[in-house]
């Protein structure tokens, strides 16, 4: 009887552990023991290049999280910011606009205008990712998609964005830098074509490009090769209008109430499962909602 009891307890323990691992599985995180993580051979042999190999929507989320943990964040905000928000719905405060704000940065202006203590500009970024493999072949890059991207940007502008940018993130496959020291000519011509279209039609959004590349032998979440970013066109600053003005005010209130609870760098995001705002550590590899405990991305 005691033998059967031991067998049943052991089986239940294994089943519980497997269910726990299944529940906590996340595209942004793979657990390694300290011994394995510190072993260069293990990191090289088990390298997955997650950023390059996942589907487009997951790749966009991973790229944004990696960007927040990189020096590129300071490039996007001119080295000063109060808070950052990611994946905020346009209907957070009601209204008929659908879709999300990929990145929203409350950028602090120094020195502030006379009569004001703190002055901020709220920059919005529409993020698009494109893959370039190690042989220089471009994946998922189509000129026809740029028209759809412009519609998304113009929707943000109609919704009352104060300053709007297209942020094009080029994901380079690992080992790309071992073969090439410059971008493929097709990518360069594509970027130049985008710039000429934006300037010719006098579009009122800016255009930035960032390049991310994973490196074998290094932690995939924390490390990587960060190529020099490019600001190809600036964007005018306008007076914010509703509904984005209402969203910004709500995020400001939320940040002021919650920021003292956190000492490490954080960002604001939104859980679509339980419909609540969250503050997440930028070091968190597998962000979970603080309320429903489910994966946010």
Output the DSSP codes for 124-168: EEEEEEEEE-TTS-EES--TTHHHHHHHHHHHHHHTT-SEEEEEE
Per-residue model confidence (pLDDT) at position 51: 84
Per-residue model confidence (pLDDT) at position 33: 40
Contact 194, 33 (CB under 8 A): no
Contact 265, 279 (CB under 8 A): no
Per-residue model confidence (pLDDT) at position 289: 93
Average pLDDT over residues 148-172: 92
Is the pLDDT assigned to residue 285 strictly greater than 50?
A: yes
Q: What is the pTM of this model?
A: 0.81
pLDDT per residue as tens digits for the range 57-67: 788 988 999 89
Per-residue model confidence (pLDDT) at position 27: 38
Is the pLDDT assigned to residue 227 strictly greater than 90?
A: no
Average pLDDT over residues 25-36: 41
Output the DSSP codes for 225-286: EEPPPEEEE--------TTHHHHHHHHHHHHHHHGGG--S-EEEEEETTTTEEEEEETT-SS
Contact 104, 88 (CB under 8 A): yes
Per-residue model confidence (pLDDT) at position 160: 95
Per-residue model confidence (pLDDT) at position 13: 67
The residue among 155, 151, 153, 148 whose CA lies nearest residue 166 is 153
Per-residue model confidence (pLDDT) at position 175: 84
Whole-number average pLDDT of the chain: 82
Measured CA to CA, the distance from residue 40 to residue 211 in angstroms comes to: 25
Is residue 146 very low, low, confident or very high in pLDDT (cuts 50, 70, 90)? confident
Collapse the DSSP code of 48 into the 3-class scheme (helix H, G, I; strand E, B; otherwise coil) and give the result.
coil
Is the pLDDT assigned to residue 29 strictly greater than 50?
A: no
Per-residue model confidence (pLDDT) at position 238: 92
pLDDT per residue as tens digits for the range 198-221: 887 788 899 999 998 888 777 777
Distance between first and last Cα of the chain: 47
Q: CB-based contacts of 137: which residues, under 8 Å, 6+ apart?
A: 184
Rounded to 5 degrees, φ, ψ at 4 are -65, -40
- Min mean pLDDT across 69-73, 91-95, 112-116, 239-243 is at 112-116
Percent of the chain with pLDDT over 90: 36
Contact 68, 84 (CB under 8 A): yes
Other C-beta atoms closer than 10 Å to the C-beta of 38 total 10
Is residue 156 very low, low, confident or very high in pLDDT (cuts 50, 70, 90)? very high
Is the pLDDT assigned to residue 196 strictly greater than 90?
A: no
The residue among 83, 9, 49 whose CA lies nearest residue 221 is 49
Tokens in use for 193? 């074509």
Q: Is the dihedral of CA 23, 27, 29, 32 positive or negative?
A: positive
Is residue 35 very low, low, confident or very high in pLDDT (cuts 50, 70, 90)? very low
- Min mean pLDDT across 9-18, 224-233, 241-250, 264-273 is at 9-18
If you ran DSSP here, which 8-state letter would residue 223 be given? -
Contact 244, 161 (CB under 8 A): yes
Measured CA to CA, the distance from residue 213 to residue 221 in angstroms comes to: 11
Is the pLDDT assigned to residue 91 strictly greater than 70?
A: yes
| Between 185 and 271, residue with greater pLDDT | 271
Where helices occur in 69-135 by DSSP H, the ranges are 72-76
| Between 157 and 117, residue with greater pLDDT | 157
Is residue 81 very low, low, confident or very high in pLDDT (cuts 50, 70, 90)? very high
Measured CA to CA, the distance from residue 249 to residue 46 in angstroms comes to: 45
Is the pLDDT assigned to residue 287 strictly greater than 80?
A: yes
């Amino acid at each position: 009887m005691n033998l059967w009891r031991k067998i049943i307890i052991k089986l239940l323990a294994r089943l519980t552990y497997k269910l726990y691992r299944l529940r906590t599985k996340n595209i942004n995180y793979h657990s390694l023991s300290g011994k394995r993580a510190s072993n260069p051979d293990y990191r090289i042999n088990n390298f997955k290049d997650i950023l390059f190999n996942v589907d487009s929507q997951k790749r966009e989320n991973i790229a944004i999280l990696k960007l927040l943990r990189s020096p590129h964040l300071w490039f996007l905000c001119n080295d000063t910011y109060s808070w950052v928000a990611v994946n905020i719905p346009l209907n957070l405060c009601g209204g008929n606009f659908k879709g999300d704000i990929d990145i929203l940065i409350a950028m602090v202006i120094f020195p502030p205008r006379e009569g004001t203590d703190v002055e901020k500009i709220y920059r919005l970024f529409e993020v698009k990712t494109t893959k370039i493999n190690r042989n220089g072949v471009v994946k998922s890059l189509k000129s026809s998609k740029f028209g759809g991207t412009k519609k998304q940007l113009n929707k943000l502008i109609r919704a009352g964005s104060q300053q709007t940018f297209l942020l094009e993130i080029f994901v380079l496959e690992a080992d790309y830098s071992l073969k090439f020291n410059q971008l493929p000519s097709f990518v360069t011509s594509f970027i130049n074509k985008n710039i000429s279209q934006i300037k010719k039609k006098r579009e009122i959004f800016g255009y930035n490009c960032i390049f991310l590349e994973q490196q074998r032998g290094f932690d995939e979440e924390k490390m990587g090769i960060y190529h020099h970013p490019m600001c190809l066109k600036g964007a005018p600053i306008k007076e914010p209008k509703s509904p984005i003005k209402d969203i910004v005010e709500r995020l400001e209130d939320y940040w002021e109430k919650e920021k003292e609870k956190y000492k490490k760098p954080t960002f604001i995001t939104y859980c679509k499962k339980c419909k609540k705002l969250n503050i997440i550590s930028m070091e968190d590899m597998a962000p979970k909602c603080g309320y429903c405990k489910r994966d946010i991305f």
